[in-house]
Amino acid sequence: MNARDASAVGAALTRTDAAAKVAGEAKYSAEFRVEGLCHAVMARSTIPRGRIVRIDVEAVRRMPGVVLVLTHHNAQKLPQKGRAAVKPPAGREMSLLQDDAVRYNGEPIAVVVAETLEQATDAASHLRIEYAREAAALDFGKAKADAYAPKQAGPSGKPDKAWGDADGALKGAEVTVDHVYTTPMEHHNPMEPHGTIARWEGERLTLWDATQYVFGVKETVAKTLGMPEEDIRVLCPYTGGGFGCKGSTWSHVVLAAMASKACGRPVKLILERPQMFGPVGGRPQTEQHVVLGARRDGTLLAIRHHVISHTSQFEDFTEPSAQPTRELYACANADTMHRLAKLDVGTPTFQRAPGESSGTFALESAMDELAVALGMDPVELRLKNHADTVPSSGKPWSSKKLRECYADAARRFGWSRRNPTPRSMREGHWLVGWGMATATYPAHKMPAKASAKLMPDGIVVVRSGTQDLGTGTYTIMTQIAADALGMPVSKVRFELGDTTFPKAPVSGGSMTACSVGPAVLKACQDLRAKLDAGRGDNEGQGESPPGPGKEEEKTHGERSFGATFVEVRVDEDLGIVRVPRIVATYSVGRLLNEKTGLSQLQGGLVWGVGMALTEESILDTRDGRIVNGNLAEYHVPVNADIGSIEVGVVDEDDTEFNPLGARGIGEIGITGVTAAIANAVCHATGKRIRDLPITLDKLLRV
């Protein structure tokens, strides 16, 4: 028997925190009871650009229960006018009531604090504000005329990357596809909105914050307020979903601390659902021009992928949508580029699989269009151009089993029964379409630390200052620790979400398991060695080192892959699209927990359905307001929208990447799904939709 066959790691262990969550005992950041707590509500601007001429607070201050009205007139003056001293993209330029400028509709411009939430909400609604409005840039179509090159784009830091001679190769191509694909502005909607409790004790500050990065909050708040980091403690035992929006420290966190300092009492500030649209980022809209050139046999000769995405007027954020194009297919000639267009809106941010999810929609749609032009099966085309090494450098992959993913998912889906002719498959008045696409996401890791201590009752407490976003971090770290210690999981307790614990990185970029897991492994191995040696000290320490910082320093390509197959049904008369079936197989290294791992991949696929068919933040180009900034009109998939989802992983152990053999899985599930759905819709109807989301009006007018 293989030693790993009997291990806790990989088993379908039920979440260790499941009982606490079901019983309501798991406390989220805004649920802690703090003595003397009062409630804050953030007031936001109603114009896209201008200045505050007058803000009348006197009547509001006299309202029942009001403790404080914080505006730019009485707010604490901060170093650097409140701009975070942490470099982007993690650092944010926040809105901290330092002047009278208004930079977008929905920007925080005041905070009202009262004894109860109801009193604070009512008081904030009575604030009377006069503005001097200025002309605003709100039309992406016009703004892109002045698009410019950013300083960086994604983890590689390179907005542009090219190799070979794309122009020359395209001239010699026998078959070419040349199209523009667009994705809309989107916003996160985790079940738990952002929320912070701030409490001062003298010069020491404690923050209970809904975050993906407790140490990032600690560092950013300290530098923004101009105080020592050691005087701040950040706590976050549970996060009710993040998906990128909680990876940065936003204005409301510091505003809660400022309000608490000003009124001398603990303050709770929770964002209302409409306040999730603007002040805490979202996915920027993209326009992606993709050109593919190939021989008649399907061999790719050249790829061009040029991207324009929007950002705010005051800070750059780049959606690196051309990143997957740089590593997905073997091609000797490529040209990728990112440009930014400034709008008077809030700064965008990371949203599940930033760049990869929007970029695979364009690239994988174009690959399908190329397959049609060649009269070639879409899977066959992708296998023909499978990248056995990293396309731009020739470096080997740490591990890659994409070929096996295609074969397994195609077999389980029944792809061989597909009639390639559009509109050839139907069931009653429903047109049936089958489509597929490649999924991919880079493998990331960062330095992390952990500790392990044997307690008098025989329990080993393992700690790391990481976060659990509902992904199962508590559980997989318990499994890793149990195996390293040679103990049952019932004898291990993993603790996280506290900046007094060993330092860990942001829970983003699908890197938590790959970064914190090896540190937990080493800490427990260290403890076990000490116990076996009979040493008196019963605490182990572990640290996982960083990988090479620069792409050119890496010896291997590190990336996960997958194959996604979908069936759609389109009402022939009404254009309604349904997705009754998805089958997907992934190459993600070793799966640390079969139950939570497959759940993560399924969740990504569900979001991909929403991205393909429903999700779009609609910006009113007259006043800069998101007109559907609520869950009644910003449509995310519900149970009735989702059919059968069958997810699998290939047997893989990527020990070249890390000692656990695992790569991250939090984001790859959403990649490729949108293109697979678009490809299936085209197969069903004969109509190619290149602008997300694919709504019935677009199908009816094509």
Task: Give the residue numbers marked as catalytic.
Answer: 667
**Encoded tokens for 332:** 């000797």
The CA distance from 637 to 639, in Å, is 7
- Cβ contacts of 303 within 8 Å, gap of 6 or more: 166, 290, 291, 292, 293, 325, 329, 331, 333, 334, 335, 336
DSSP alpha helices (H): ranges in 337-433? 356-374, 378-384, 402-413
DSSP string, 521-550: HHHHHHHHHHHHTT-S--EEEEEEPP--SS
Question: Are the CB atoms for 50 and 75 separated by under 8 Å?
Answer: no
**Encoded tokens for 491:** 């004898």
The CA distance from 662 to 617, in Å, is 35
Question: Are the CB atoms for 538 and 531 separated by under 8 Å?
Answer: yes
The candidate with the shortest Cα–Cα distance to 441, out of 360, 531, 533, is: 360
CA distances 324 to 157, 191, 355, 398, 679, Å, are 14, 29, 8, 17, 18
* SS3 call for 162: strand
CA distances 378 to 407, 479, 577, 630, Å, are 13, 40, 22, 38
The CA distance from 21 to 12, in Å, is 18
Polymer length in residues for the chain? 702
The candidate with the shortest Cα–Cα distance to 121, out of 60, 70, 168, is: 60
Amino acid in position 76: Q
